[in-house]
């Protein structure tokens, strides 16, 4: 069986006659460029408009060739399950298991027009093209088709390698062949070209050269170590090989020591790009390898110093650490001060509550207790006296309740508010003095000097509580015969004096707090808290004088 490809279809000679295949029989295009026979006896016909399959004498549609309908097919090579297709302008195509892989100059080929595909049985496919003859290793083609590689390396041969010309002929089959001896033959513009894959010309790669280094579109000088000022953007390093022959077959690998852990293969671009590099010293290395001389390579390198900005220096970090430590220390000081302030306020509040309890409820309860004890003594001997004392106890209990309500009011309201149960402090103090005099058999004198002026409510209450404490201390401890309570208004201030002629005591050594008595201390704290002056003068056998003075500047603070 003989198959003939012509410019007007396909003809088949079976020994007795010709059978023609044209458009009517399903041929995709009249001009047939190449033919190939598959392992199962089918005929593949490459045309200027795709690939056709002839099975059992009929042209059939093959879904695997659907994507090739616009391809100008110039050559076919079948290798087991692999169908290699050389096209005009479309590069080299591989059809395997219904999947098509395309190789072009962008992937490393020497040309996108393939006249002939020849296997040298040494793991290489030789391709003739308008720019010469080249080969590609099968392992690279297989890795690319599986997605394991991003490019292939075509090793080109031309006039620089001893060929008479690099301009090949083709477009129809055959445009090249392999002899049984292994030699390859290709037609050219100046006759047949012979290549022996076993004895190829020795190739040596040209030296690699770092062309330029730039940041932010600014070229940096390549003399000595390259210094990059701080704050620059992306780093670009351009490189090439000093070889004017077959540039496309030179491959590059590069590495920036300190950044890249392994070599990076440069695919289509002969540039390396780096962004956001931290300050420091780096060394850029680039290696050029010729696909035709895999055992030889050349390398170039250059040192790069990326200067740090101020905020990236050790001084800045030290300063930042010092500021942070200072801020922590200041925060701890502020926290300790606030803690001490809160503790002091809490302590003052507890002291105030204790003072309020002592000067109001406790003192009143002591008075009631004293009256009830007297009632118990007189209820059998003097019923009238006992009844009078019991009436005083009832009155004292009512006053105690009112004082407790006043204390609760003071705790729940601001100092400027007035309790609805407020009374005149001076009248209350004078009434208390007279009651205590009646109870303890002492003469009481009260006196007001000057024109009375309104005082701060806290001052009024302080005069009442301090005066009451002084009166009760006098009758309880001094047993006086005469008690004098005198309040004088002097300008915009006031002076209160409580004097008795009792036993007195040594005021210089009065440390009654250690014995559980807080009266004198409480009086002094109340007065001084409002900015007033408190004095106590007492001598054994000479009585006691308690004086409180509030000046104009001694208002509530």
Pairwise pLDDT comparison (482 vs 250), residue with the higher score: 482
Lateral strand order in the sheet of 124-129: 116-119, 124-129, 132-137, 155-157
Q: CA–CA separation, 338 vs 60, rounded Å? A: 95
Classify 377 in phi/psi space as left (phi over 0), alpha (psi -120 to 50) or beta.
alpha
Q: Which pLDDT does position 557 carry in this prediction?
A: 37
Q: Is the pTM of this model over 0.85?
A: no
CATH class of 2-195: mainly beta
Check whether 499 has a pLDDT greater than 60.
yes
Burial class from Cβ neighbours inside 10 Å (0-12, 13-18, 19+) for residue 386 reads middle
According to DSSP, the residues that pair with 519 across neighbouring strands are: none
Q: How many helices (H) and strands (E) does the chain have?
A: 7, 32
Question: How far apart, in whole angstroms, are the C-alpha atoms of residue 466 and residue 450?
Answer: 21
- Given a contact cutoff of 8 angstroms between Cβ atoms, the answer to whether 548 and 458 are in contact is no
Measured over the CA atoms of residue 317, residue 322, residue 323 and residue 324, the dihedral's sign is positive
**Is the preceding omega at residue 174 within 30 degrees of 0, hence cis?**
yes
Q: What is the β-pairing status of strands 184-188 and 250-257?
A: unpaired
Residues 243-294: tens digit of each pLDDT: 655 555 577 889 999 889 888 888 667 889 998 888 888 999 998 876 555 5
φ, ψ for residue 54 (rounded to 5)?
Answer: -110, 120
CA–CA distance from 135 to each of 140, 151, 184 (Å)? Answer: 11, 14, 12
SS3 for 302? strand
Residue 535's H or E segment, with its range, is strand 533-538
pLDDT mean over 287-314: 76
Planar angle of CA 503, 508, 511, nearest 5 degrees: 90
In the predicted model, is pLDDT for residue 435 greater than 50?
Answer: yes
pLDDT value of residue 421: 39
Q: Are 141 and 149 in contact (CB under 8 A)?
A: no
Per-residue pLDDT of 102-140, as tens digits, reads 999 888 888 999 999 999 999 999 999 998 899 999 999
CATH of 208-312, one of 2.60.40.10, 1.10.600.10, 1.10.1740.10, 2.40.30.170: 2.60.40.10
Of 514 and 499, more confident: 499
User: Would you place residue 419 in the very low, low, confident or very high pLDDT band (cuts 50, 70, 90)?
Assistant: very low
424-557 is a CATH 3.40.1190.10 domain: no
Give the integer Cα–Cα distance in Å for 290 and 473: 115
Beta strands across the sheet bearing 544-550: 443-449, 482-490, 493-500, 544-550, 533-538
How far apart are the C-alpha atoms of 365 and 362, rounded to whole Å?
A: 5
What pLDDT shows up at residue 556? 40
Q: Give ∠ CA 454-457-463 in degrees, rounded to 5.
A: 90
Q: Which residue has the higher pLDDT, 63 or 490?
A: 63
How high is the pLDDT of residue 422? 44
In Å, what is the CA distance from 291 to each residue of 137, 252, 286, 296? Answer: 9, 10, 16, 9
Give the pLDDT of residue 452. 80
Domain boundaries in the chain? 2-195, 208-312, 313-422, 424-557
Of residues 240, 167, 241, 239, the one with CA closest to residue 204: 241
Q: What is the torsional sign of CA 218, 224, 229, 233?
A: positive
């Amino acid at each position: 069986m003989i198959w003939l490809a012509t410019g007007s279809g396909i003809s088949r000679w079976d020994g007795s006659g010709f059978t023609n295949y044209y458009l009517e029989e399903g041929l995709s295009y009249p001009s047939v460029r190449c033919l190939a026979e598959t392992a199962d006896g089918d005929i593949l016909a490459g045309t200027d408009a795709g690939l056709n399959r002839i099975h059992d004498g009929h042209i059939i549609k093959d879904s695997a060739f659907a994507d090739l309908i616009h391809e100008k097919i110039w050559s076919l090579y079948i290798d087991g399950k692999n169908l290699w297709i050389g096209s005009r302008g479309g590069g080299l195509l591989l059809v395997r298991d219904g999947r098509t892989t395309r190789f072009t100059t962008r992937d490393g080929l020497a040309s996108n027009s393939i006249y002939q595909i020849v296997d040298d049985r040494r793991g290489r496919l030789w391709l003739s093209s308008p720019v010469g003859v080249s080969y590609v290793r099968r392992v690279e083609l297989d890795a690319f088709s599986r997605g394991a590689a991003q490019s292939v390396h075509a090793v080109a041969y031309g006039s620089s390698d001893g060929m008479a010309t690099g301009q090949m002929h083709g477009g129809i089959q055959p445009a090249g062949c392999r002899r049984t001896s292994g030699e390859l033959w290709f037609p050219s513009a100046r006759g047949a070209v012979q290549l022996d894959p076993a004895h190829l010309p020795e190739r040596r790669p040209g030296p690699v050269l770092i062309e330029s280094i730039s940041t932010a579109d600014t070229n940096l000088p390549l003399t000595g170590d390259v210094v990059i000022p701080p704050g620059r953007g992306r780093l670009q390093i351009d490189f090439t090989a000093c070889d004017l022959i077959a540039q496309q077959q030179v491959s590059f690998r590069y590495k920036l020591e300190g950044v890249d852990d392994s070599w990076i293969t440069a695919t289509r671009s002969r540039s390396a790009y780096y962004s956001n590099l931290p300050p420091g010293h780096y060394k850029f290395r680039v290696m050029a390898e010729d696909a035709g001389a895999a055992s030889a390579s050349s390398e170039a390198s250059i040192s790069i110093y990326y200067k740090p900005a101020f905020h990236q220096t050790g001084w800045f970090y030290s300063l930042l650490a010092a500021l942070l430590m200072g801020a922590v220390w200041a925060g701890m000081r502020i926290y300790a001060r606030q803690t001490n302030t809160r503790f002091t306020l809490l302590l003052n509040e507890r002291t105030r509550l204790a003072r309020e309890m002592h000067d109001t409820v406790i003192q009143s309860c002591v008075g009631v207790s004293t009256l009830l004890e007297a009632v118990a003594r007189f209820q059998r001997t003097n019923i009238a006296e006992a009844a009078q004392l019991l009436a005083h106890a009832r009155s004292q209990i009512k006053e105690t309740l009112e004082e407790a309500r006043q204390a609760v009011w003071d705790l729940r309201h601001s100092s400027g508010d007035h309790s609805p149960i407020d009374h005149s402090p001076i009248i209350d103090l004078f009434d208390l003095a007279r009651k205590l005099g009646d109870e303890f058999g002492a003469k009481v004198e009260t006196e007001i000097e000057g024109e009375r002026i309104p005082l701060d409510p806290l001052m009024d209450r302080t005069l009442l509580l301090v005066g009451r404490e002084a009166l009760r201390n006098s009758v309880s401890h001094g047993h006086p015969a005469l008690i004098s309570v005198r309040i004088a208004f002097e300008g915009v201030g006031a002076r209160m004096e409580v004097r008795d002629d009792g036993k007195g005591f040594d005021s210089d050594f009065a440390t009654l707090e250690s014995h559980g008595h807080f009266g004198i201390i409480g009086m002094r704290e109340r007065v001084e808290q409002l900015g007033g002056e408190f004095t106590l003068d007492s001598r054994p056998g000479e009585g006691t004088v308690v004086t409180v003075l509030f000046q104009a500047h001694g208002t509530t603070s």
